[in-house]
Amino acid sequence: MTRPKILVFAGSIRTGSYNARLAALVTKLLALAEAEPTRISLQDFPLPLYDGDLETRAGPPEHAVKLKHLMMRHAGVFIAAGEYNASVTPLLKNTIDWVSRVREGTEPPLAAFRNRIFAVGAASPGPLGGYRGLMALRQALELGCGATVLSEQVAVRDAANAFDADDSLRDPRSAEALKALLERLVDAARYLR
């Protein structure tokens, strides 16, 4: 069986980010689930705040183009999203906005979001585990970009206490839900390509 390539990143780059920890765990679990994960940090793809006038003058920034190419080399994408003010993080929204604007040659618009499977999760110190941010992310990905997002998702609440010393999830139900989500992502990505 083929080992599908799956891109993993967090929508937060702050020091000690719970979603960066979740992305690291996802990367480890994907390798165990016979996928070929690639974990990146959005810190390595700095982008200016989206500005239509800037885009008209100079086109999409180089890092948006690189990130789009990276996404297109993967059959699946896992985003550890986070939540700010009951919505998607500004960093993640800005990244999605810029990547959605990269159009090359005769390819259709939003090419980076088409023909690949997305899965989403979040880790938050709050009692909802980033659930509201995941809903906003789904809206941006599905309605805004036409992406296929798995219906399952993982929202890790009380994130400050959610990870053990090995960076695994302490709560067996959350751990099992994450494992099942990733197995579904691998299966969907495998048959997509």
DSSP assignment string, 6-65: EEEEES--STT-HHHHHHHHHHHHHHHTT-EEEE--GGGS--PPP-HHHHHHH-S-HHHH
Predicted local confidence at residue 193, as pLDDT: 61
**pLDDT-based confidence at residue 82 (cuts at 50, 70, 90):** confident
Residue 1 has pLDDT above 70, yes or no: no
Type and span of the H or E element at 148? strand 148-156
Average pLDDT over residues 5-19: 97
- Is residue 167 within 8 Å of residue 161, measured between CB atoms? no
Secondary structure (3-state) at 122:
strand
The sheet carrying 5-10 orders its strands as 36-39, 5-10, 76-80, 117-123, 148-156
- pTM, two decimals, is 0.96
Q: Domains along the chain? A: 5-192 (3.40.50.360)
Per-residue CA distances from 112 to 76, 126, 148 (Å): 11, 32, 11
Predicted local confidence at residue 191, as pLDDT: 85
> If you average pLDDT over every residue of the chain, what do you get?
96
Q: Is the dihedral of CA 28, 188, 136, 92 positive or negative?
A: positive
